[in-house]
Amino acid sequence: DAMVIQNPRYQVTQFGKPVTLSCSQTLNHNVMYWYQQKSSQAPKLLFHYYDKDFNNEADTPDNFQSRRPNTSFCFLDIRSPGLGDAAMYLCATSRDIGQTFFGAGTRLSVL
């Protein structure tokens, strides 16, 4: 029944070692988002795809990249993770305005 699926749920990486987080959806929504949520803070939008159009938030570090090979899948690539990148990463989808559906998140630890 899960509609937005994030893998893995927990990811441990080493400082500077590239890591990829994945997200898939069964809702056929045209918009997909990646949010970063640090402990006790609000989720912060990193970027979103509107169909195939990639939109980066102005303050998203260059270290973060994303790919959306098709409607169902979206990936978050962190090229050189730093200690400050340890956080929960949330993938979400929506069909234009209306309810946004979130995945369960991937908790990233950087050692």
- Looking up tokens 């159009």 gives 53
Nearest to 79 by CA among 16, 8, 12: 16
Give the nearer residue to other proteins in terms of CB position, either 71 or 80: 71
Residue number, 4 or 19, with CB nearest to other proteins? 4
| C-beta closer to other proteins: residue 43 or 81 | 43
Please report how close the Cβ of residue 59 comes to other proteins at its closest, in angstroms: 10
Identify the bridge partners of residue 57 per DSSP, sorted by sequence position.
Answer: none
Per rule CB under 8 A, is residue 64 in the interface with other proteins? no
60 touches other proteins (CB under 8 A) = no
Q: Strand runs (DSSP E) across 1-111, as ranges?
A: 4-7, 10-13, 19-25, 31-37, 44-50, 53-56, 64-67, 73-78, 87-94, 101-102, 106-110
With binding defined as CB under 8 A, does residue 86 bind other proteins? no
Q: Are 8 and 88 in contact (CB under 8 A)?
A: no
Binding residues for other proteins, per CB under 8 A? 4, 6, 31, 33, 40-43, 45, 48-50, 55, 57, 88, 90, 92, 94, 96-105, 107
